[in-house]
Every structure is written in structure tokens, then in C-alpha cells.
Amino acid sequence: MSIKYQTFDTISRSEFSSALQTSSLNLDYGACRVKVMAGGIRFEESFKVVYRAFRFTEDEPFSDFHVRLHPGSLARRLIRPTVHFAIDGVHPFDPFPLSDALPMYEWGINWSFAQRFNQYVLLHAGTLALGDRAVIMAATPGSGKSTLSAALMLRGFRLLSDEFGVLDPETGNLLPMLKPVALKNRSIDVIRSFSDDAWLGPTFKATRKGDVAHLAPDEASVSAVRQPAKPALVIFPKYDLGAELSLKPQAPEQAFARLAFNSFNYALLGPISFAAVADVAASCPAYELRYSRLEDAVRCLQDLLFEPSLTNA
Amino acid sequence: MHKNWQRSLAARHLLPLLRDCRHALSMSLADWDDTIRLARQARLLGLIAGRLKETQDLWERIPERVRGHLQSSINFSAHRLQMVRMELRALDKALPPTIAVVLLKGAAYIAQNQGFARGRMPNDVDLLVRRTDLDEAEAALAAAGWAAETTSDYDQRYYREWSHELPPMRFPGHALEVDLHHTITPVTSRVRANDVLLFSSLQAIPDSRYFTLHPFDQIIHAAIHLFQDSELAGHLRDLVDLDGMIRRVIHAESDWTDLQQRADQHGAGRYLCYTLRYCGTWLGTPMPQLITLQPPSTFVQKFMDMILTRGTLPRLPDTPPSLSDRFALQAGVIRYHWLRMPLKLLAGHLIHKTMALIRR
Amino acid sequence: MIRTENRLILRRLGDAMVIFDSESWESHLLPPSATIIADIIAELSDDAPVSSTVLKQVLRNDYELDPNSSAITDFLGMLREIGMLNE
């Protein structure tokens, strides 16, 4: 018998608003569970779209962070309304315009996670899976990893995260840190036309990162938010307009070095991250993937991930 | 002692956990939610994590998600400790071997491998040299690449003339600041430690050119620092250090007597009395039956109790401090300045600071 | 995994090697060509750092490599720095 639960899509706006006021809004990202208080911010509409498949729960005894968004001072509100992000009473950044509350929230959660979750090796990568086999896509400049992550999810891959490769050094598994995928500038339209199933939140114009819109994680990814996956493939994507699709194998020590460079806390974890990243490099084939058409890249990765017994000598 | 502190959130689980880590076995997930936040606030998460981890059957019974936060702070702290070791190695190369260099506070506890030093997240390294060696030490560090962080001439002058330390120095790119002291209390403070006594009782650290203070002097230094410092908030950590040091070196009745005498020689008898009071009540530090220290007047005692309880015990960050809490914090700040500087100097200093704030 | 004097952790990755120096917390990469020399050192080692005189002899006599070539000298310098080689 399945237990009926509410999602952000199905709950009423007033229920949602009241939860935000009283700090009983809980979000389960997989590796991390957040409690949010956000009275007077008025981002319910956009939130409900980008978190549509997430479960709405009011009872959560233990949260990994306690986050509060609040408007700026009364006087300021008249001149230029702002929104402030606080985690456990600390305000790590300057305020954003009130209209940019959702991007600020997303950015704030990513920042807080990278700061506090040093029990895991945090690779800077998009991670997706077919079954329990995961691909790690390192987030180098010009990789287009967010767009590629979005496309892969829309073509049936389970999305773990478009930003973090959360590697558990004790098990070698990857954990989800499942959040709306932040798409920038041209990618927004590309993904909108890539699939009819793409649920996009509003476009925030000219934020610090250009135009930003968020793609909602799909139901399949959300329901698997507590499931780990085993790293099976490492990819260094390179978006190259007009280029033919090409796949260049990377030697394991190359993969090691590139993964270590593309991580949030490699240096911090010392011997722990050395061993964990070496394990991934030793057990997963690695490729540099040059692509210009998303469909080609998706098909290529499907083939690579399906190939049985891919091992590195 | 005022029973007010028993009503604080910290008293529910954080203090019991510090007294006996097996208290963890009776904590629910919701209890941990508050306690992790308070411990983080008080900079004690790493210490608690370390204690829990070294008790195998205890660690495994802690809820997995809670363990994650604890492990994270252990990992973070391990990195910080590595940075301290590297900074000490670099400083060793830069400072002439003829200068006796004493490690203070965190750096000392780490170098001595003190149990209570685990889980620390130091931001600086505190060194002490003789006044006569100060100029040479400073010049050596500057020549090797360390640079002073404070730029204003006024601040430079304040540090050199009135304080007990030079402006903090940092090697470019290093995460840790270096604070070079020539005595352990500000030149102008009411309670001045006895420098001659300090330097005559230094202890060598095996396989190292560094020294530490005599264990009793370490306790007294920590007590003076704790009660003369402005930021009473966040000093629960310092009380935990004191508890650790006392348990380590004070065993017999005669040790207590010697400690008291030593404190009196430094003019810090009252601070030792305060220390024992709070350590005993909050952390269960073993105490002698008879304390022959001069107790302060009842009024002063009640005042201190109020400041300490309100200011020192961590609170959940989302609840803004009440009016009486804010008064307590403010009272602590005023008291700090009063202890450090004669009134005339204080006025000038505070005015200058205010002007700087306004200009910004 | 191999530990050298308890200071270095070595991991073989394909034909190459990655090294973690637990004193400095730095990670090093040894490309395949250099790994051969590291293997030679491991053979000669016996749990203590190898003398570079001995190593140079072995390279010259047994492997016909010129130990004074700039590439090898550079590499030996690095090994000395990370404690795998003694003067």
C-alpha cells in the first residue's frame, strides 16, 4: 500500500506560505535536508514550479541546515527591496534584490553545502545515473555541464546533481544533492525546446550570472533522492559549436588530476580525498567528450554507460 | 550560584554532553538538531565529535546524519591542525635559533597533543618571546616574508605601546595569522602577569625548538584571557580548555594549593576563583573541598554570573538576543575596556574607533 | 598502496603513479616514464630512502639511462624533495 504524500505541485499556496512563515518548510535534497523560514519573500509561485515534484513535509526532527530568508529593513524596502540569506544566524553574502529571491536561495544552499559537508569529497561535477551506474561530468569552464545534465535528465537519466559530485569516502558511492538545474542565457531556450517535459521556472534577468532559469528535477529523480549510485564513468565535456562529436580516452592519472582540480574540498580533506579520487580514477574509464549537438552527446553517454564490464587495467 | 543557567538551551544537552559524552545515548534526533547548532556556535563541534569518535560503541549508535556533521568537523579540524604544523615549521626556519619562542594557547595545546585540543579550528598562531628579543624576532619574520596586517598608524601605535602583542602578521597566502607577544597581558591592564615567573618556568617541547609555559601558568593565562577579553560570547570553548588542563595536571590537594599560590603571584587569584566556579558548575571539573581564594563580593559575583550565563552559553542563532541579553553583552564589553585601559586612554581609543566606523 | 617511511602514500594508476605526501599534504603525479624509476627505487629501498649515488649507478649499469641528463636530474630533484631519495 503506498502512502499518499503531497508535493509542492499539489499543496495549496496558503499552506505553503504558512509553512514558510513558521519555519516548518523542509526540503530533502538527498545528501542534505534543509529547513527554511522565509516570511515576506513572496517567491511561492516560482518555488512551486521548480520544486514541483519534491515532497512537502512539515515534520522533520533533524535538519542539516536552518536557513532564513528575510527582507531588508523597513526603510530600505521603500527604496529598493532586498532579500537577505542567513544560515544559523550568519549572513554570508550581500543582499540580493527581492525579485531575485529564488536564485539567491539556490546559490545560498549550494554555498552552505560546500562549506559544511566535508564528510564527503565534493567534486565540482554534474552527476547522473542509469540504474545504479553513475557518470561524473567534471564542471570545467566551457563544458556546458548544466545544459548537458538537464538534457540527460530529460532523456531518461536519473539526476543526482548538476553541481556536486557527492562522493562518500567510506563507501565509494555518489549521493544525490538534487536541486533545480540552473540554466544560463542561451541554454534556457535550448532546454525549453529540447523537451515538452521540461518544467522551467521564471527567467531572472541579468543576475550576477547573467539570465538564469531553473529546470525542475523530474519525479523519477526526486523519488530516488535517497538512493546512492556507483561511479562508472568519468567525462570531461567540452561544448564546441559546430564540432564533430569526439571521444578521447583519458589516462587514469589524467582523470585523477582533473577531478582533483575540479573539486570543492580536495585540498581540505588531504589523505581522504587522495584515496577516494584515486579509487574513482582507478575503477572508471575516463573520456574527454567534445560535442556540439546535445542529442549526440546524450546518445554517446547512454552507449558508454550501458556497456557492460567497463574496466580500467 | 544563580540557577538561571539551568533554564538555558545549552544546559539541556550541550553541557551534559561535555560533562559525559555517554549522554549522547539518551539524545533524540530533535535533541541533536539543537545541540549541533549550539555546538557549532560555541566552536565545540570538533571537540565533541572527537570524543564521541574515540568511543567505538558510542560512535556507531549515533544517528547517521548526525555522525556526518561530526565527521565533517573532524575533517575540517584535521586540515586546520595540519596548517598549524606547517606554519610552526615555517616559523622555526625564519626565527633565529637563539631566541626562545614560547607557544601560547591553541598552538601550545596542539604541539603538546592535548586531548582537549582536538577539534580546534585555529585561525592564528600565538607566540611569546622576551621583550628584549622582540625586535629581532619581528625583523626576522619580516625579512622572511611575514607582513603586518594592520595598516593604520594609530592601530600600529596602539599595539606597540599599550598592548601585549604586535599587530598580527601573515605570510602572504597562508591561512593563519601570527600573533607575536612579549607578555601575556596588555601593558595597561589591571591584572599584569608576572613575566619573570613565566619565563623562569618554561617547559621544552620534546624534539622541538619551541617551549610552552609551565602547566599552571597555562591555566592562569587562559583564565586571565577568558575573563579579561571582550568577547565573552563564545568563551565556553575556553572553559572547556581550562577544564581539560585542570584535569590533566591537578590531582593532589597540594597541586591545588600550588596553583592558588601561583595565581596570587600573578595577581590573578580572582580570575582563578571565577574559573573554578564556572568550570565546576557547568563542566563538572573535579574541585577541591576547600577553596581558600578571596571570593569577590556577592554583588560582583551576581553580576559576573549574569554576564557569563547570558554571554557565554551559546544560544540558537535565530532567536534575537533579548534586551537583557544585549545588556549583558554590552556590560561585558564595557568591563573589558575598563580592565584593559586607564580611563583617559580609553576615551581616546573609543572615540578614534567610532570615527573610523563613521568614515567607513 | 605503498607507504614510504610512513610519509608518502603511493598509488599505482595504470602505468603512472600518484603520491600523497602526508607531511605537506601535497599530491604529486608521476608520469609513466618516471614511474619506472620509482619502481626501481622501491626495489632498492627496503623501507628506507635510497641513496642517490646507488640509484644513479643502477640507472647507468642496469638500465643504460644517463643519470646526468637534465630530465632525469630534474626528476631526481623532485624525489629528493618529497623524501624518496637520500643525498
* pLDDT tens profile A27-41: 999 999 999 998 888
Which chain C residues are within 8 Å of B79, Cβ to Cβ?
25
B203-204 and B177-181 as β-strands: parallel, antiparallel, unpaired? Answer: unpaired
Q: How far is CA C11 from CA A297, C18, C28, C85, C86, in A?
A: 32, 5, 10, 18, 21
The C-alpha cell that represents B154 in the structure block: 594609530
pLDDT tens-digit profile of A152-171? Answer: 999 999 999 999 999 999 99
The C-alpha cell that represents A231 in the structure block: 561511479
State how far the Cα of B88 lies from the Cα of B92, in Å rounded to an integer: 6
State how far the Cα of A210 lies from the Cα of A182, in Å rounded to an integer: 11
Q: Among B28, B40, B71, whose Cβ lies nearest the Cβ of A119?
A: B71
Query: A300 and A169, same structural domain?
Result: yes
**Exposure class string for A98-129: b at 16+ Cβ within 10 A, else e:** bbbbbbbbbbbbbebbbbbbbbbbbbbbbbbb
Q: For residue C41, what pLDDT band results from cuts at 50, 70 and 90? A: confident
State the residue range of the domain holding A274. Answer: 121-306
Query: A296 and A148, same structural domain?
Result: yes
Mean pLDDT on C17-39? 84
Query: A197 and A126, same structural domain?
Result: yes
What is the least distance, in Å, from the CA of C25 to any CA of chain B? Answer: 8
C4 - beta bridge partners? Answer: C8
Kindly give, in sequence order, each residue whose CB lies less than 8 Å from that of residue C42, ignoring residues fewer than 6 positions away.
Answer: C2
Q: Do A62 and B71 touch (CB under 8 A)?
A: no
Could you tell me which of A19, A66, A8 has the C-alpha nearest to residue A41?
A19
Among A59, A83, A116, residue at a domain's last position: A116
Chains in touch with A (3+ beta-carbon pairs under 8 Å) read: B, C
Residue B197 CA, distance from chain mean position:
21
Q: Among A260, A271, A313, whose Cβ lies nearest the Cβ of C14?
A: A313
Q: Is the pLDDT of residue A108 over 90?
A: yes
Q: Domain tally for chain B? A: 1
pLDDT at B290 (0 to 100): 52
What is the least distance, in Å, from the CA of C14 to any CA of chain A? Answer: 6
Query: A126 and A27, same structural domain?
Result: no
The C-alpha cell that represents B217 in the structure block: 601558568
Q: What percent of chain B has pLDDT over 90?
A: 46
pLDDT at A212 (0 to 100): 93
Q: Do A274 and C20 touch (CB under 8 A)?
A: yes
B96 touches chain A (CB under 8 A): no
Is A311 a member of any domain?
no
What is the least distance, in Å, from the CA of A155 to any CA of chain B? Answer: 32
Q: Is the pLDDT of residue A280 over 60?
A: yes
Q: Among C13, C25, C31, whose Cβ lies nearest the Cβ of A281?
A: C13
What is the least distance, in Å, from the CA of B78 to any CA of chain C? Answer: 11
State the residue range of the domain holding B294. Answer: 4-359
Query: A199 and A101, same structural domain?
Result: no
Which chain C residues are within 8 Å of A259, Cβ to Cβ?
none
DSSP secondary-structure letter at B80? H
Its ipTM equals 0.93
State how far the Cα of B47 lies from the Cα of A8, in Å rounded to an integer: 39
Q: Is the pLDDT of residue B357 over 90?
A: no
Could you tell me which of A144, A154, A145, A148 has the C-alpha nearest to residue A195?
A154
A64 touches chain B (CB under 8 A): yes
Average pLDDT, chain B: 82
What is the least distance, in Å, from the CA of A285 to any CA of chain C? Answer: 11
C62 touches chain B (CB under 8 A): no
Query: A163 and A300, same structural domain?
Result: yes
Query: A111 and A191, same structural domain?
Result: no
Chains in touch with B (3+ beta-carbon pairs under 8 Å) read: A, C
Residue A287 has phi, psi (to 5 degrees) of -140, 150
pTM for the predicted model, two decimal places: 0.87
Query: A168 and A250, same structural domain?
Result: yes
Q: How far is CA A212 from CA A11, A80, A207, B205, in A?
A: 26, 21, 7, 57
Query: A92 and A199, same structural domain?
Result: no
The widest CA-to-CA distance across chain C, in whole angstroms, is 35
Strands (E), chain A: 25-28, 33-37, 65-71, 82-87, 96-97, 121-130, 133-138, 158-161, 164-167, 174-175, 181-184, 204-207, 210-215, 230-239, 246-250, 286-291
pLDDT tens-digit profile of B53-112? Answer: 998 789 999 999 999 999 999 999 999 999 999 999 999 999 999 999 999 999 999 998
Which chain B residues are within 8 Å of C24, Cβ to Cβ?
86
Q: Do C13 and A256 touch (CB under 8 A)?
A: yes
Strands in A210-215's sheet, in edge-to-edge order, are A181-184, A210-215, A204-207
More confident residue, B307 or A165: A165
Q: For residue B192, what pLDDT band results from cuts at 50, 70 and 90? A: confident
State how far the Cα of C69 lies from the Cα of B110, in Å rounded to an integer: 45
Judged by average pLDDT, the poorest of A89-103, A127-141, B188-202 is: B188-202
Q: For residue B5, what pLDDT band results from cuts at 50, 70 and 90? A: confident
Query: Which of A258, A274, A312 should one mutate to test binding to chain C, selecting the residue with the greatest count of C CBs within 10 A?
Result: A274
Q: For residue B226, what pLDDT band results from cuts at 50, 70 and 90? A: confident
Q: Among A37, A61, A90, whose Cβ lies nearest the Cβ of B29?
A: A61
Query: A275 and A129, same structural domain?
Result: yes
Query: A213 and A159, same structural domain?
Result: yes
Could you tell me which of A154, A135, A125 has the C-alpha nearest to residue A303?
A135
pLDDT at A261 (0 to 100): 92
CB B190 within 8 A of CB B171: no
- Give the H or E element holding residue B278: helix B269-283
Q: Is the pLDDT of residue A62 over 90?
A: yes
pLDDT at A312 (0 to 100): 43
pLDDT at B101 (0 to 100): 97
Q: Among A257, A270, A313, whose Cβ lies nearest the Cβ of C29?
A: A257
Which chain A residues are within 8 Å of B43, Cβ to Cβ?
none
Q: Do C20 and A270 touch (CB under 8 A)?
A: yes
pLDDT at C43 (0 to 100): 80
Query: A152 and A61, same structural domain?
Result: no
Q: Among B32, B76, B79, whose Cβ lies nearest the Cβ of A62?
A: B32
Q: Residue A15: count other Cβ atoms within 10 Å of its Cβ.
A: 13
What is the least distance, in Å, from the CA of B270 to any CA of chain C? Answer: 43
Which chain B residues are within 8 Å of A86, Cβ to Cβ?
317
Radius of gyration (C-alpha) of chain C in whole angstroms: 12
Which chain A residues are within 8 Å of C22, Cβ to Cβ?
270-271
Question: Both ends of chain C: CA-CA distance in Å?
Answer: 25
pLDDT at A1 (0 to 100): 44
Q: Is the pLDDT of residue B254 over 60?
A: yes
Q: Is the pLDDT of residue A50 over 60?
A: yes
The enclosing domain of A138 has a CATH number of 3.40.50
pLDDT at B129 (0 to 100): 95
Q: Residue A74: count other Cβ atoms within 10 Å of its Cβ.
A: 7
Q: Do B37 and A88 touch (CB under 8 A)?
A: yes
A246-250 and A25-28 as β-strands: parallel, antiparallel, unpaired? Answer: unpaired
What is the least distance, in Å, from the CA of C3 to any CA of chain A? Answer: 12
Q: For residue B292, what pLDDT band results from cuts at 50, 70 and 90? A: very low
pLDDT at B300 (0 to 100): 62
A128 - beta bridge partners? Answer: A135, A159
pLDDT at B291 (0 to 100): 53
A156 touches chain B (CB under 8 A): no
What is the least distance, in Å, from the CA of C44 to any CA of chain A? Answer: 25
Kindly give, in sequence order, each residue whose CB lies less than 8 Å from that of residue B193, ignoring residues fewer than 6 positions away.
Answer: B183, B184, B185, B217, B220, B221, B224, B266, B267, B268
Q: Residue B3: count other Cβ atoms within 10 Å of its Cβ.
A: 9
- At B21 the three-state DSSP class reads helix
A286 - beta bridge partners? Answer: A234, A250
CB B17 within 8 A of CB B35: yes
Give me the half-sphere count of Cα atoms (radius 13 Å) on the Cβ side of residue A231: 32
B123 touches chain C (CB under 8 A): no
Q: For residue A23, what pLDDT band results from cuts at 50, 70 and 90? A: confident
